[in-house]
A and B are shown apart, each in its own frame.
Chain A
């Protein structure tokens, strides 16, 4: 992959100005996603995964004064420089779309599925009449393999199961054939068997359309099955990124290592689950140096300064003094 990346995020910052202080939810994040590639963003709750995704779409939490900085270039165009109107009319939907976490709450309960899935076709002028939009919506539901789509268009969200709702949400998201699809923990709220179905669906959508996918999850088994590359986030920053195989076989950052060790394996004799002791730092006043240092078993005095990015080759990059010193 030597072509220009589809999405290039550089030094992205999202600071939420709250009464009790400035929360640096995303604090200088850089990564890229290529066409047809899936990037998995992993990390524990509160590490800024979701906020990073929302920043790309410029959808900040509404009741807080959020500010974005850095650049988010999609096909070379910086989304952070666009007007809100441009974001709504040109970007959200046709260029970037999102599948959110909880299918039970992501659909409007008082409108039919047909109304909601046909919307994007109308807003982005892909069709002219409501009738055409409904036909397109039926096609969309067929694409996410919902049986008898024409009939289902007239149903309300509460008449669908969780897995089916997530398919509807996916149909909404891919309605306008976006270049980039952000899936924010799309399977967290679903049964394991349904999770596999949704993952297979995402994979087949990607094969059909070459869409770039950002998959946010804390489930590392999903990452291994679907992603090409991984970015590990901790306390608002990406601390290690690389190909799935490199991260799994050769994790460099002690946090990544601890995360991988926390996965329980069958047949392993272990009385307790491995956990990472301690809590992530407060994002209002994060430490100046490495943010994991407080909990790191391999802490050194140099960790009081922020570690530089070390490129280990083949786009495997880690921010840790251990790697820097080698």
Chain B
């Protein structure tokens, strides 16, 4: 267990280092910041002085180490647009994004698990067909369109739920459905095929042969075995919901990190972009780390 943990941590650190390097290089690719900071007709000496002052005349790897050192301390610089330290802005917006991602995640699992299990248990039945249609719709329809449709039906026509904002539980429902529907398809398929394989196994037959009730056989003994592949893609999709939620956040005016970063990109507010992307990638790596850990909880053979 300790080895698994240490290995996971090491992997996470390496991934983080890679992410920081990519973020650093990408932000350098967008051009010389001096051309934005100084007037067009500034004398060459002033440019040189500014370059030296900002440390831009140092070698690239030196600049990267400085960036890294400051990033570790949480210093990404000040946001031009919001007039506050970038990292503070990111941490202010982050909880809303995590909240939405978790709600969407819960929704997608609440739909995918029963659909996947039941469509495996009753293969070829009407529930299998319905699961296939629901999953296909989620996969085929873009989330902003689902979002608009949900607003139209539930907020405008039926007036059951609010269309935008983030004041309470009722506000998260529609964006969570819009964001969570897409992964349902893949999750349902993974659970279904996992369950089909497990239900055909010797140990399930053995369980049946000693009179294990069907309910236990499916939801306890088979399901846990079918969980491993699901957990793998769960990690991927949770990360997707964290980082890919800006479309849904925009549609529902959800005050989250995704929308903030997109706005920062348009405003060329690089400190916010760098801080936002780096924090998101930390969450991404963290969720993968949790996936690795949960393998060993689900399957004792991995604990060794």
Contact = CB atoms under 8 A, between A and B. Distances in A.
A110 B222 CA distance: 10
B52 interface: no
A175 B205 contact: no
Contacts of A101: 202
A62 interface: yes
Interface string B98-132: 00000000000000000000000001000000000
Interface centre among A63, A105, A119 (most CB of B within 10 A): A119
A107 B203 CA distance: 5
A186 interface: no
B46 interface: no
Contacts of A120: 210-212
B211 A92 contact: yes
Given A62-B200, A110-B300, A94 B206 contact: no
Contacts of A263: none
Interface string B175-215: 00000000000000000000010011111111111111110
B139 interface: no
Interface in B63-121: none
B213 A123 contact: yes
B136 to A, nearest CB: 23
A145 B213 CA distance: 28
A165 B212 CA distance: 19
B221 interface: yes
A105 B225 CA distance: 13
Nearest to A103: B202
B38 interface: no
Interface centre among A88, A108, A116, A120 (most CB of B within 10 A): A108
Interface in B132-152: none
A248 B201 CA distance: 36
B2 interface: no
Interface size class of A (residues with CB under 8 A): 35 or more
Contacts of A105: 201-203
B205 A124 contact: no
A94 B300 CA distance: 30
B56 to A, nearest CB: 56
A42 to B, nearest CB: 22
A144 to B, nearest CB: 14
B301 A109 contact: yes
Contacts of A97: 209-210
A169 B202 CA distance: 11
| Interface majority SS (helix, strand, loop, mixed), chain A | loop
A223 interface: no
Contacts of B214: 88
A89 interface: yes
Contact of A172 (B205, B210, B299, B300): B210
A97 B200 CA distance: 18
Given A108-B225, A110-B225, A158-B300, A89 B211 contact: yes
Interface string A46-65: 00000000000101011100
B209 A59 contact: yes
Contacts of B209: 57, 59, 92-93, 97-98, 100, 173
Interface centre among B207, B210, B216 (most CB of A within 10 A): B210
Given A108-B221, A156-B300, A119 B212 contact: yes
A106 interface: yes
A91 B211 contact: yes
Given A94-B211, A102-B202, A63 B301 contact: no
Nearest to B199: A62
A171 to B, nearest CB: 10
A93 B211 contact: yes
Nearest to A61: B200
B224 interface: yes
Nearest to B203: A108
Contacts of A94: 211
Interface string A115-137: 01001100110000000000000
A60 to B, nearest CB: 10
A272 B101 CA distance: 70
Interface of A: 57, 59, 61-63, 88-89, 91-94, 97-98, 100-102, 105-111, 116, 119-120, 123-124, 156, 158, 169, 172-173, 175-176
Given A93-B209, A101-B202, A106-B202, 13 more contacts: A63-B123, A88-B211, A89-B211, A91-B211, A94-B211, A98-B206, A106-B206, A108-B207, A108-B225, A109-B203, A110-B300, A120-B211, A158-B301
6 contacts: A88-B213, A89-B213, A106-B203, A120-B212, A173-B209, A175-B210
